[in-house]
Structure 1
Amino acid sequence: MELELRHLRVVSTIAEAGSVTKAAAELGVAQPALTAQLSRIERTLGGPLFERDHRGVRPTALGELVIGRARMLLPAMSGLMDDATRLSDTERGRDAPEHLSIGASTSSILAPLIQRLSQWREELKVSTMASWSADEVTGQLADGRLDFGVIGVCAGAGTPSEAGLTWRTFSVDPVFVLLPQGHPLADRDEVSLRELGDAEWAATPGDGCFQECFAAACAREGFTPRSLYVADAASCVDLVGSGTAVALCQANRVLPGLVTVPLAGVPLRWNHVIGWRSDSAAAEHAGAVLGTVKRAHRDLVERSSVYSAWLPRHRGFGVQQDPGITPAV
């Protein structure tokens, strides 16, 4: 077997996740399949890359060497591919389509994405659909009513499995907590879930396993949340502003009168992914749209001083330099 970039991506993901099980969830593959692939990579390189124990995995000396090279090569190759795609599209006279339809369950991305797309081509016509439901966006994408779908999925859930759709993870983001400015913990660099054990909670609606993951994270901290009010974004803001509840929120949230605070240990995280139909006319523009959505997400991150300061201390989060493609079966 010859070593390929996708193998370096696997090794890098395992190192960042700290365990093969967590890495498998992030890559959207079964744990036994990832373990087998790691074994083939280690045979190719001539030795073990990780030491394994009950706490997870730690890189060996050989692993440190490979991981260090991977962290240089993967971003460089991602940049090369993005630049090559843009140049190739320009030379063929099709640097942008006439029209794109985009759906999003992460509505905050729409405004910066539209702005970035207009910079790509001023004449481009963009129609959008916003929904709290990732399943609804996925269904419209599968039916051909959307060219691209941008959704958030709980990190342990994997991408939707509809046949014919291709997904790329463009950002991995922690879940922060939203507090009123006068809250006793509002000036902290981070807070633990346990410190908020007596709070009432609020969150925007979503399908998938997020509520169960939140309950499990609280259980690991030794408490059961008193409540979880599921409400629209404006109602969650009102509940926090009035002191009735604290809210789970995206890390890039910036709201007047409210404060976003990181949760210690990153107990909850979102994978933000973009999908398209593999057989659609829009698929030929997927590389350029992917690059555009990554830049739009960076725009959101840069608006948040809290998240921007948090990111350099937490490797593996934020916009992904070289995300893998996961085609549905």
Structure 2
Amino acid sequence: MSPASPTRASAATPSPNRIDRLRIRHLRLLDLVARSGSLTAAGEALHISQPAVTKMLQELEYAFGCRLIERTTRGGRLSAAGERALERLRVVLGVIDAAGEALQARPEVPLVRLGMLPLVGVDVLPQAVALLRAQDALPRLAVREHSVGGLTAMLCEGELDCIVGRLQKDDTDQLKARVHITPLRDEYLAVVCAPAHALARRREVALADLHEGPWILPPRGTHTRDVFEQPFLDAGQLPPVPHIESASFHSNLAMTAAGGFLTVAPATALAHYQAMSMVREVRLRTPFASGRLVFITPAQIEAPPAVIRLREALEAVTRQDTGAPPARARRR
């Protein structure tokens, strides 16, 4: 039987038998068209002729029983069905790429592609790594740092196996249809200053007092910046304008210690810096909204054993500290 034309394919239904006959390059064709907007460019990337691209597209649409790519004057773009298919297929392609990467060196040791927020590497991850190594169960780790939004996008496209990050309730509600979320611990956002800063000596600091600055803050659009600015907006105040914008908590805390700034950071991540008397936590009358440290995996695929062991280690080390605000900070 010859592949159906796009017109017939649009009215057909997917067949497991037809899908089983697809090759990996069929799936990559859809991804390449989405990225380049051109069937010709996709064919060049796959090193195949234009007639071969057309045949491959017909086989792909025949297998899924619908039109996946719409022809345009500039080449081609994914249909609505093509976009939905690619959301799933990118996870498959990511898993295939990860399998190749894992077997390139030391195939006897599993590889975990971990995405995390920067300060997770100061507090939580080192403890989990030490625990797994003591159990002789530490996998190879390929660690990527990014914002919550960036990490989530990479996870859903199959570029990561798991994430350790912080979410608010609204974020959790938006993501739970696409991912599995394991709560690790609740945390709150602390305001931090240098020991010599005027606010370090105050017994209680109100929201309006925080305008004294100067501030170092993460860029707009990041999770931490949103959590920081919301209380000011709720109180009818403009949030402080930062003198420095930086996405690196490590740099922010170091500059705060050296230059007399104010900054914000998850409270549980401050122990290392406070132990060396580099910074002090500001005693806020009302603490900033709490967030939740979570472990996230894709909903579409079953987590490999190495990812499960990493999750269990993170659960074990975070169980020791709830990350709740101290009693003085909870006063109204």
Instruction: Quickly name the TM-score band, shorter chain normalised.
Output: 0.5 to 0.7
CA distance in 2 between partners of 1:190 and 1:264 (Å): 6
1:1-329 map, 5 Å: 98-105=110-117, 106-108=120-122, 109-119=124-134, 121-158=135-172, 161=175, 164-188=178-202, 190-205=204-219, 207-208=221-222, 210-221=224-235, 223-228=237-242, 229-231=244-246, 232-252=248-268, 253-254=270-271, 255=273, 256=276, 257-282=278-303, 288-297=309-318, 301=321, 310=326
How far did 1:192 drift? 2.6
CA distance in 2 between partners of 1:296 and 1:222 (Å): 40
CA distance in 2 between partners of 1:100 and 1:235 (Å): 27
| Cross-structure match for 2:44 | none
Q: Radius of gyration: which is bigger? A: 2
How far did 1:174 drift? 0.8
Over 3 Å counting, the alpha-carbon distance change for 1:219 and 1:103 in structure 2 is closer
Q: How many residues align?
A: 212
CA distance in 1 between partners of 2:110 and 2:280 (Å): 41
Over 3 Å counting, the alpha-carbon distance change for 1:275 and 1:265 in structure 2 is same
How far did 1:238 drift? 3.9
- The amino acid of 2:293's aligned partner reads H
If the length of structure 1 is used for normalisation, what is the TM-score?
A: 0.54
Q: For residues 135-166 of structure 1, what are the alpha-carbon distances to aligned partners after superposition, in whole Å with 9 as ceiling and x for unaligned? A: 22222322333222111124543355385421
How far did 1:271 drift? 1.8
More helix by share: 2
If the length of structure 2 is used for normalisation, what is the TM-score?
A: 0.53
CA distance in 2 between partners of 1:207 and 1:117 (Å): 35
Answer 1 or 2: higher relative contact order, Cα 8 Å, separation at least 6.
1
CA distance in 1 between partners of 2:241 and 2:329 (Å): 32
Contact 1:112-1:297 at 8 Å conserved across structures: no
Contact 1:201-1:225 at 8 Å conserved across structures: no
Over 3 Å counting, the alpha-carbon distance change for 1:184 and 1:312 in structure 2 is closer
2:115 aligned counterpart, secondary structure: strand
How far did 1:122 drift? 1.0
Please provide the CA RMSD for this pair. Answer: 3.4
Over 3 Å counting, the alpha-carbon distance change for 1:216 and 1:184 in structure 2 is same
CA distance in 2 between partners of 1:118 and 1:281 (Å): 24
How far did 1:240 drift? 1.5
Q: For residues 123-145 of structure 1, what are the alpha-carbon distances to aligned partners after superposition, in whole Å with 9 as ceiling and x for unaligned? A: 43231323131222222322333
CA distance in 2 between partners of 1:122 and 1:284 (Å): 14
Over 3 Å counting, the alpha-carbon distance change for 1:220 and 1:114 in structure 2 is same
How far did 1:284 drift? 5.9
How far did 1:187 drift? 4.3
How far did 1:191 drift? 2.8
Identity of aligned residues (%): 16
